[in-house]
Amino acid sequence: MKRKRSGKSEPGQARPGGPSDRRERLWRVYLLAFFGSSILSLLHRSWQTETVGLENLENLLGSQERILVVFWHGKYLPFFTLLRDRGACIFSSRSFRGEVIAGICRRFGHHCLTIPVRKGEGALDLMRGALAGRKMAAMVPDGPGGPYHQVKHGVIRLASDLGMTLLPASAAARPRLVLTRRWDRMEIPLPFSRVRLTIGPPIVIPRDLGGHSIDWWEECVRDALESAGEAAEAGLK
């Protein structure tokens, strides 16, 4: 006769979700963030980097404007180091992977807040609260799960509601590895690559959207991001 399990842990055995599991998770997050940031630092030191339009960011940082830097999800990797130590507020999902990304962000001088994976107004409310009083933030308008290079309503509404000036940015590298099986086609600059960061002109979205539809503004931001990407690529030819 099989003995029925009570669901209770045996004496001396750690319970799932208990303190030991949480400590193990924290250690794994710490180690992966440490190794990830170390590899990125080594890669960055080998890159030949060039920035175009950085004055667009510096001028806004020296003003009273609040800034929301936007770039495509598949391009985000070089931004950890290219814009380091600027105190940008970045969001990641409240998950194991998101916690690792948050750890990497903090090692490069960014603030990173993990939020539950939600859709709709609930997620926007969390972001609005997190950005209150922040001078600079960075977001991926097609994240966290696509579609590829499609600007979502949330970025436009946040910029409009909070009075944040959008700053489109892109990065390109030669040579690079492109993960074509990922939805975002992530680009990874290889060691000793030429890496070019391009920051486009600011985009001010009025609180009333200036009489335009939100779809119109999405297309405007998408065009600006594509232009920044084309400029970054052209500079490497």
Is 156:212 a contact under the CB 8 Å cutoff? no
Instruction: Look up tokens 């308008």; give the residue.
Output: 141
Burial of 126 (0-12, 13-18, 19+ CB in 10 A): middle
- Residue 175, preceding bond cis, omega within 30 degrees? yes
Based on the number of CB atoms within 10 Å of its own CB, is 151 exposed (0-12), middle (13-18) or buried (19 or more)? buried
16-54 as b/e: b if 16+ CB within 10 A? eeeeeeeeeeeeebeebbeebbeebeebbeebebebebe
pLDDT, tens digit, for every residue of 117-165? 665 567 788 888 888 888 999 999 998 888 999 999 999 999 999 999 9
The pTM of this model reads: 0.86
Round to whole Å and give the CA distance between 47 and 108.
17
CB atoms within 10 A of CB 236: 14
3-state secondary structure of 199: strand
Per-residue pLDDT, 174: 96
| Domain annotation for the chain: domains and CATH numbers | 19-234 (3.40.1130)
d(CA 55, CA 211): 30
Q: Is 173 helix (H, G, I), strand (E, B) or coil?
A: strand
Tens-of-pLDDT digits for all 237 residues of the chain? Answer: 555 554 454 454 445 567 788 889 999 999 999 999 999 999 999 999 999 999 999 999 999 899 999 999 999 999 999 999 888 899 888 889 889 999 999 999 998 888 776 655 677 888 888 888 889 999 999 988 889 999 999 999 999 999 999 999 999 999 999 999 999 999 999 999 999 999 999 999 999 998 999 999 999 999 999 999 999 999 998
